[in-house]
Amino acid sequence: MQVRVPLAKRMEVLGTETAFAVGAEAADLASKGVKVYPFHLGDLDMLTPKHIREAATQAMNEGKTGYCPNAGITPLREALAEDVGGARGLSLDGGNVSVQPGGKPVIGKFIMAFMDPGDEVLYPNPGFPIYESMIGFHGGKPKPYGFIETENGFALDFESIERQITPATKLFIYNNYHNPTSAASDDAEMKRLAELCVKHDLIVLSDESYFDILFDGQAKSIVSLPGMFERTVILYTFSKKFAMTGWRLGAAVGPENLVSVISRFNVNDESCTAQFIQWAGIAALKGPLDEYQKMMSTLRERRDVAVEILDSMNGIHVAKPQSTFYLFPNVTEAMGHLGTKTVEEFRKKVLDETGVSFTTRNHFGSPLEGENQSYIRLAYSGIGVEDIREGLGRMKELLDR
Ligand code: PLP
């Protein structure tokens, strides 16, 4: 017998990642014998490099299985300080690092640490759904800002950012190399944003999950700009660069006075990240990068093939992004060709008729006022080139019919 348990009021505003529901739908279809082309989830179909796996088993066999310091083991904190700081032109030490069980926990901990109920938080929409979920759950006021589609991809909508900054705005969430649009700020855009954050004295979460998933050029972080490091917490993750999504290893990196507050949640929450996983993290940071380079060339090939086919489809256009493993094509016209009124209807029709499974703009937040274009998101992290060709070929046929 089930007992009716009244939930805490705040559970009404806890969000979720609705993309997982698309995965369940695709799995259901596959179980009925339909061939599904999985463009929906941002997971990698590549094995974590061998030297990292071996470091974890070695650590386990050496007995590194007990509790360890809340903020992480010193050698990992130091390795992260060197790696993350070095790539951003900063000289950091272990005190600038709080190890986390994944990148995701940094989001909630950052919000709990620096936001009071009623504070306003600017965050990207479309964007990673956990920002809005955590802001609302902890009693803040979520203020979504959008992006503008350009010939080369997407740019920050400064009009929507500037219009929404008020004296109650406390935090700004920035996800350069952005999920789902792959937006990457150029120098001018990043500088303009940094100046705004300094001017309005905002505390910034810089979600740098895709910092290392960059195909061309040099990755840049807003913390390298004047006045920014001291007000910013970087979300760092091992998930993407080292194909370690399921290991759950990440970190908050930033000035010691901000990062040490984040570590206080470690004490109250998970106590520490699994120690043998942290030793594997050291092997990842200090080991060879040939598997990472191989992954990047695999992803590049997938991106190029997918962009070419998508861009040739009737009523679809997409720019070739330089970062992440997502494509965010505009499908507004294609929806009309298929006689579908909403992007969700479009998604379902394409899935049912071709097996091509993807998420849409609506899985990354509610559309903003005045938004009149429709987009879908295709992740090419978990699908090989042959299936990309076959699946998108089917989708093209459907749209050409
Ligand atoms: N932030 C963004 C923008 C992401 O896309 C993801 C994962 O997809 C995360 C954070 C969290 O990743 P993880 O918890 O695996 O580090």
What is the mean pLDDT of the segment spanning 135-154?
96
Probe target for ligand 1 pocket from 100, 212, 237, with the most ligand atoms within 8 Å of CB: 237
Query: Are 124 and 145 spatial neighbours (Cβ–Cβ below 8 Å)?
Result: yes
Q: Is the CB of 102 under 6 A from ligand 1?
A: yes
Q: Is the CB of 132 under 6 A from ligand 1?
A: no
- Could you give the angle at the alpha carbon of 79 between the alpha carbons of 74 and 80, nearest 5°? 100
Bridge partners of 379, per DSSP, are: 326
- The pLDDT confidence band at residue 41, using thresholds 50, 70 and 90, is confident
Residue 325 above 90 pLDDT? yes
The reported pLDDT for the residue numbered 2 is 87
Chain-wide mean pLDDT for the chain? 96
Domains of the chain: 9-47+291-400 (3.90.1150.10), 66-286 (3.40.640.10)
The reported pLDDT for the residue numbered 401 is 85
Count of CB atoms within 10 A of residue 382's CB?
17
- The pLDDT confidence band at residue 388, using thresholds 50, 70 and 90, is very high
What is the mean pLDDT of the segment spanning 170-198?
98
- The pLDDT confidence band at residue 18, using thresholds 50, 70 and 90, is confident
Distance from Cα 126 to the centre of ligand 1, integer Å: 14
Distance from Cα 279 to the centre of ligand 1, integer Å: 21
What is the mean pLDDT of the segment spanning 206-217?
97
Nearest CA to ligand 1 atom 13: 103
The reported pLDDT for the residue numbered 17 is 84
Residue 348 above 90 pLDDT? yes
The widest CA-to-CA distance across the chain, in whole angstroms, is 62
Q: What DSSP string runs through 287-354?
A: S--HHHHHHHHHHHHHHHHHHHHHHTSTT-B----SBSSEE--B-HHHHHHTT-SSHHHHHHHHHHHH
What is the mean pLDDT of the segment spanning 28-53?
95
pLDDT in tens, 271-283: 999 999 999 999 9
Q: What percent of the chain has pLDDT over 70?
A: 100
The stretches of 97-224 forming alpha helices (DSSP H) are 104-114, 130-137, 158-164, 187-199
Q: What percent of the chain has pLDDT over 90?
A: 95
Distance from Cα 108 to the centre of ligand 1, integer Å: 12
Count of CB atoms within 10 A of residue 80's CB?
26
Query: Are 70 and 263 spatial neighbours (Cβ–Cβ below 8 Å)?
Result: yes
Q: Is the CB of 248 under 6 A from ligand 1?
A: no
The reported pLDDT for the residue numbered 305 is 98
What is the mean pLDDT of the segment spanning 82-108?
98
Closest ligand 1 atom, residue 178 Cα: 3
Q: Is the CB of 101 under 6 A from ligand 1?
A: no
The reported pLDDT for the residue numbered 16 is 85
Q: What DSSP string runs through 252-295?
A: EES-HHHHHHHHHHHHHTTSS--HHHHHHHHHHHHS--HHHHHH
Residue 224 above 90 pLDDT? yes
- The pLDDT confidence band at residue 1, using thresholds 50, 70 and 90, is confident
Q: Alpha-carbon distance 283 to 53, whole Å?
A: 9
What is the mean pLDDT of the segment spanning 369-384?
96
